[in-house]
Structure 1
Amino acid sequence: MMRTSRMLVNLYARGLTAATLSCMVLLGTSMQASADETDAKRLLKAMSDYLVAQQAISFDYDAMLEVVTTDEQVLALASSGAVTLNRPDKIIATRSSGFADVEMVFDGKTLTLLSKNLNLYAQEEVPGTVENLVDELRKRDRPLPGADLLLTDPYETLMHDVVDVKDLGSGVIGGVECDYLAFRTEEVDWQIWIAQGEQPYPCRYVVTSKLIDGAPQYSIQIKDWKAGDEVAATDFTFMPPADAKKVDLKNLEGADELPKNFQTGEAQ
């Protein structure tokens, strides 16, 4: 059996040498002393304002969801996909992994989930905005990739219950130089890398659980970012593939976050 979380990282500290750990202690002291909380908040707010100002957004992504077995082995489930968003109420998101190939279409009224590999689809009326859709999908344990970054006020959502903020300088993600920020709450630690320049979009977002043994993480790395006029015109009308079978959402197979051979248990 396995324990898992949707907002989840293994820091891999157990295998580090004593010398490496001593360096980490010294580095940690230096980073804490030099962290600029005000600047970190400013950079995060600038990213949030930029995202909210975009009427249309599209990007590709690679994601990793870690699960922890009862014998404390950390396993990582990898997936890739793409997202196209038109504010306020249209989105298409895909997710492909070794056990699922899923497309989600939302046109402001109807949510459609298509299990491509099984040629099954389900539909449900969910009128409202993308933000309302995010809430509904979370209730069903079917989260959108990077959902926190797609809301109408990412800054408010991300900063909720934050008790510690660090500006850690810069890093490079996929060849893009980014500002590197780290935040802590009582339940999770999270990090974000934000592209420098006129388009401060999120390049990488990592959330680490503090409530589950093994500290599993969820991470998403964003690439091929486009916004505004760069986004290709998209039809958000769902057309079922030939011979596709419609089923109830609760009976839709091949669209879960975990493969069938994974049995989830209680977090400890």
Structure 2
Amino acid sequence: MFRFHRARTLLICLALSANSAGADEVDPKALAALDRMGAYLRSLQQFRIEADSHTDQVLENGQVVEFSHKARLVARQPDKLQVSLESDGKRRSLFYNGKSFTLYDSRSGYFANQAAPADIGSLLDQLSERYGIELPLADLFRWGPGTAKDVGISSALLIGDETLEGTACTHYAYRQPDIDWQLWVRQGPQPLPCRLVISRRDSAELPRHSVNYHWQLNGAISPKAFEFIPPAGARSVPLQQLEPQGEQP
């Protein structure tokens, strides 16, 4: 489910133990929870999310430091999306209206606009494959039937029930190559993710990334939310594509 670009996202391993669980146990209930959550997410026609995240970064001397971010996402299926990431007093945003997308950096005042595919899933693929851009919260759109097998989940555990910020959730733990992750899913008819903790096992410093989700499923969303209006002084710049992966001479 989760893809990482080492240059951008650095995560930590949290050691989990379950007295009754083997090292590579796959609990069908834990896998079923992912399918149930994914099916519910795909059924949503529109939603808003505010997410607080904390990400570890490894310095050149091996010391681990933590950075905090706040992400906001507004989506209307199948072809409207607005995402912003705030950190250190600056905001980076994406606006997608079904025909084009615009990236804007508030600190520099630069923005770039490009033609876009006709749905959110295709947009996420284009951003990743053509420009090397991974949007915050993008994995919420990617979970589908068979994804657990595709990403190589080797362990799936049901940890137990917990209450997070007054919401009854069920806690699960998963393992795939080089990555451990924990997921808390809301109980009841709306199985939304409440919290996510991702841990990297391929780094000696064991960096970690965590996200707490705050959902809003009701309320009208104006079409203007997905349109970018350049503020005064903003400047248009070209968006650089990744270099083709050709053979080395």
Would you say same fold, with TM above 0.5?
A: yes
Going from structure 1 to structure 2, the CA distance change for 1:136 and 1:36 (only over 3 Å counts) comes to closer
Give how far 1:242 is off: 2.2
Deviation string 1:89-116 (CA, Å, 9 cap, x unpaired) is: 2100011100531111011221101112
Q: Structure 1 pair 29/174, CA: closer, same or farther in 2 (3 Å)?
A: closer
Contact 2:26/2:154 (<8 A) preserved: no
Change (3 A) 1:5 1:97: closer
Report SS of the residue matched to 1:243: coil
Task: Return the alpha-carbon distance in structure 1 between the equivalents of residues 71 and 8 of structure 2.
Answer: 20
Cα displacement (A) at 1:9: 1.2
Q: Is 1:206 aligned with 2:197?
A: yes
Structure 2 residue identity aligned to 1:69:
L
Match of 1:123 in 2: 113
Deviations 1:58-77 (A, max 9, x none): 11111222221232211122
Please report how far the alpha carbon of residue 119 of structure 1 lies from its aligned counterpart in structure 2 after TM superposition: 2.3
Number of aligned residue pairs: give it. 231
In terms of mean alpha carbon deviation, does 66-75 or 199-208 score higher? 66-75
Kindly provide the amino acid, as one letter, of the partner of residue 145 in structure 1.
Answer: P
SS of the counterpart of 2:118? coil
Supply the distance in 2 between the matched residues of 1:90 and 1:45 (Cα, whole angstroms): 24
What is the match of residue 37 of structure 2?
A: 47
Tell me which amino acid in the other structure corresponds to 1:9: I
Alpha-carbon distance, 1:182 to partner: 0.6
Partners of 1:36 and 1:186 lie apart in 2 by 15
The equivalent of 1:190 in structure 2 is: 181
**Unmatched 5+ stretches in structure 1:** 14-23, 252-268
Instruction: Name whichever of 133-142 and 190-199 sits farther off.
Output: 133-142
> Which residue in the other structure is 1:88 paired with?
78
Residues 1:38 and 1:10: Cα distance change in structure 2 (over 3 Å): closer
**How big is each residue's C-alpha offset from its partner over 1:247-266, in whole Å with a ceiling of 9 and x where there is no partner?**
12249xxxxxxxxxxxxxxx
Per the TM alignment, residue 212 of structure 1 is displaced from its structure 2 partner at its CA by: 2.1
Moved more, 170-179 or 91-100: 170-179
For 1:50 and 1:7, locate their aligned partners in 2 and report how far apart those are by CA, in whole Å: 29
Residue of structure 2 in register with 1:9 after alignment: 12
Alignment deviations for residues 194-253 of structure 1 (CA, whole Å, 9 cap, x no partner): 111221111112221122221222222111x122x43533422221112311112249xx
Q: Is the aligned partner of 1:232 residue 2:221?
A: yes
Q: Please report how far the alpha carbon of residue 29 of structure 1 lies from its aligned counterpart in structure 2 after TM superposition.
A: 4.9
Mapped to 2, the partners of 1:101 and 1:31 lie a distance apart of 45
Q: Using the alignment, how far apart are the partners of 2:156 and 2:60 within structure 1?
A: 32
Structure 1 CA distance for aligned equivalents of residues 145 and 59 of structure 2: 33
Give the 5 Å matches for 1:1-268.
4=7, 6=9, 8-11=11-14, 28-32=17-21, 37-98=27-88, 100-139=90-129, 140-151=131-142, 153-154=143-144, 156-159=146-149, 160-223=151-214, 225-227=215-217, 229-235=218-224, 236-250=226-240
> How big is the shift at 1:158?
4.8
RMSD: 2.4
Percent of aligned positions that are identical: 26
Gaps of 5+ in 2: 1-5, 242-249
- Judged with a 3 Å threshold, the aligned counterparts in structure 2 of structure 1 residues 242 and 8 are, in CA distance, closer, same or farther, namely same
Q: What TM-score do you get using the length of structure 2 for normalisation?
A: 0.83
- Between the aligned partners of 1:4 and 1:215, the Cα distance in structure 2 is 15
Q: Counterpart of 1:16?
A: none
More helix, by proportion: 1
Amino acid at match of 1:177: A
